[in-house]
């Protein structure tokens, strides 16, 4: 049975909200019992139990439980959270145990097994060098084999996916539980926006609304009804994660949910070079209402001002800022609204029902990171399983066009 749950703002708000200690204890023990029932490795169960007591741990643990249900012996397929990075906050012992468990798991496909092994291998490397901006792995290094596992797993997943594209797939139509209408609470959005203004003013940074939040301000004069978060931009040269952390710690309205300091990977002549930018590229702030504010750090490169994540990169021509109105709030946004929105959305004046942020933006490219290729393969495979070969092929073509994959003698290979 294939079940899909659409994102629910109410559920996200509940998971993001602070939890009392008794709830964490209860949740931790229930999680351990459920993972034991599903026969997940002991190290993974222990890691998830401990995670419940960490900041933002409940939400990640819930995602682990959904994923564990999907890969277990239960006759349920929960593809709603198919894009979850199974290595998130996972320790090395648990990662290694999970790789071995997946290798012997008969309930998952080859594509699934390989993308998740790729996640786990790259996660071990990331955690081992999380304090270093640059390092190189060579044959004989302790973690070189993890990089080899990552590359082999990605290649296997890409090739199996490519083969499935030419075969007849029996579509298991999912049972869909749709979100309630207007699940985005605009009262919370405006509360978070006001507190964002106060936070940024205390830091002295220039900030501006971007992406979907800016689109709503220009086209609707309001937040888009299907949004789940706020998109803000700051400049790389002004951004200081320590200053932000200190400001958040002094506020009763905010906590830092996560930060992404992309780990870029480049293979060359028998060695693999990894490097990070000195500052995070994306910080997710959690407001007291449960709403998340994505703070994208914008980087100037020649005539471009780009922002992104561990997966995507969006390039815009350099811009200044002008004042706009979002509801009753004055905000700053890119000064040439038409140019900016056209770069991001094409024909932005006409609302569309479906917009895929991974392949539809005209200015999209992909970060050269382990997370990027893994995510894109997962999404493509999910579309294939749901019978949408056209969209799956669009993802494959986009990966080739953007230099993530290439065809060598008719075979897809990770570059």
Question: Average of pLDDT values for 289-296?
Answer: 91
Where would I find the beta strands (DSSP E) of 18-173? 77-78, 134-137
pLDDT digit string, tens, across residues 145-155: 999 999 999 99
Instruction: Report which DSSP code applies to 7.
Output: -
Both tokens of residue 136? 């190189």
Is the pLDDT at 179 greater than 70? The verdict is: no
Question: Average of pLDDT values for 8-37?
Answer: 85
pLDDT digit string, tens, across residues 368-388: 999 999 999 999 998 998 889
pLDDT at 14: 74
Q: Phi/psi at 155 (nearest 5 deg)? A: -60, -45
Instruction: Report which DSSP code applies to 219.
Output: I
User: What residues are paired with 232 via a beta bridge?
Assistant: 209, 295
Band of pLDDT at residue 184, cut at 50, 70 and 90: low
- For the entire predicted model, the pTM comes to 0.88
CATH of 186-365, one of 3.40.50, 3.30.70, 3.30.1330, 3.30.460: 3.30.460
pLDDT at 146: 96
Please name the residues in contact with 369: beta carbons below 8 A apart, sequence gap of 6 or more.
Answer: 262, 263, 264, 265, 310, 311
**Could you state, in order of their start, the residue ranges of all structural domains in the chain?**
1-107, 109-168+369-415, 186-365
Is the pLDDT at 270 greater than 90? The verdict is: no
Number of CB atoms found within 10 A of residue 2's CB: 17
pLDDT digit string, tens, across residues 53-106: 997 799 899 999 999 998 999 987 776 666 789 999 999 999 999 999 999 999
Is the pLDDT at 180 greater than 70? The verdict is: no
At 207, is the secondary structure helix, strand, or coil? strand
Please name the residues in contact with 25: beta carbons below 8 A apart, sequence gap of 6 or more.
Answer: none
Is the pLDDT at 242 greater than 90? The verdict is: yes
CB of 162 closer than 8 Å to CB of 389: no
Is the pLDDT at 239 greater than 60? The verdict is: yes
pLDDT at 56: 78
Please name the residues in contact with 341: beta carbons below 8 A apart, sequence gap of 6 or more.
Answer: 214, 215, 218, 219, 348
pLDDT at 240: 97
């Amino acid at each position: 049975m294939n079940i899909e749950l659409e994102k629910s703002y109410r559920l996200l708000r509940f998971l993001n909200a602070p939890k009392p200690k008794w709830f964490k204890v209860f949740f931790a023990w229930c999680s351990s019992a459920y993972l034991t029932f599903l026969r997940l490795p002991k190290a993974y169960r222990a890691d998830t139990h401990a995670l419940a007591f960490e900041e933002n741990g409940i939400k990640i643990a819930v995602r682990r439980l959904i994923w564990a249900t999907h890969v277990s012996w239960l006759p349920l397929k929960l593809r709603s959270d198919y894009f979850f990075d199974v290595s998130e906050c996972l320790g090395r012992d648990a990662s290694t145990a999970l790789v071995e468990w997946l290798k012997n798991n008969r309930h998952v496909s080859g594509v699934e097994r390989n993308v998740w092994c790729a996640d786990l291998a790259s996660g071990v490397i990331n955690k081992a060098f999380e304090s270093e901006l640059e390092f190189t792995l060579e044959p004989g290094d302790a973690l070189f084999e993890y990089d080899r596992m990552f590359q082999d797993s990605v290649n296997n997943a890409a090739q199996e996916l490519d083969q499935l594209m030419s075969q007849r797939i029996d579509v298991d139509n999912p049972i869909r539980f749709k979100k309630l209408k207007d699940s985005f609470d605009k009262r919370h959005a405006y509360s978070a926006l006001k507190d964002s203004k106060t936070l940024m003013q205390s830091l002295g940074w220039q900030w501006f609304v971007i992406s979907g939040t800016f689109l709503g301000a220009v086209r609707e004069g309001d937040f888009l009804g299907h949004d789940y978060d706020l998109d803000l931009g700051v400049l790389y040269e002004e951004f200081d994660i320590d200053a932000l952390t200190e400001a958040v710690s002094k506020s009763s309205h905010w906590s830092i949910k996560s930060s992404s300091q992309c780990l870029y990977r480049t293979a060359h002549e028998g060695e693999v070079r990894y490097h990070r930018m000195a500052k995070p590229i994306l910080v997710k702030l959690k407001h007291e209402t449960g709403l998340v504010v994505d703070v994208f750090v914008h980087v100037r490169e020649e005539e471009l001002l780009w922002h992104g994540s561990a997966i995507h990169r969006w390039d815009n021509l350099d811009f200044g800022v002008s004042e706009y109105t979002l509801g009753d709030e004055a905000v700053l946004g890119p000064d040439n609204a038409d140019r900016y929105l056209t770069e991001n959305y094409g024909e932005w004046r006409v609302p569309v029902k479906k917009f895929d942020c991974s392949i539809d933006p005209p200015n999209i490219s992909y970060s050269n990171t382990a997370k990027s290729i893994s995510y894109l393969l997962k999404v493509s495979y999910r579309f294939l399983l749901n019978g949408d070969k056209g969209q799956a092929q669009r993802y494959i073509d986009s990966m080739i066009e953007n230099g993530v994959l290439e065809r060598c003698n008719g075979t897809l290979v990770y570059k």
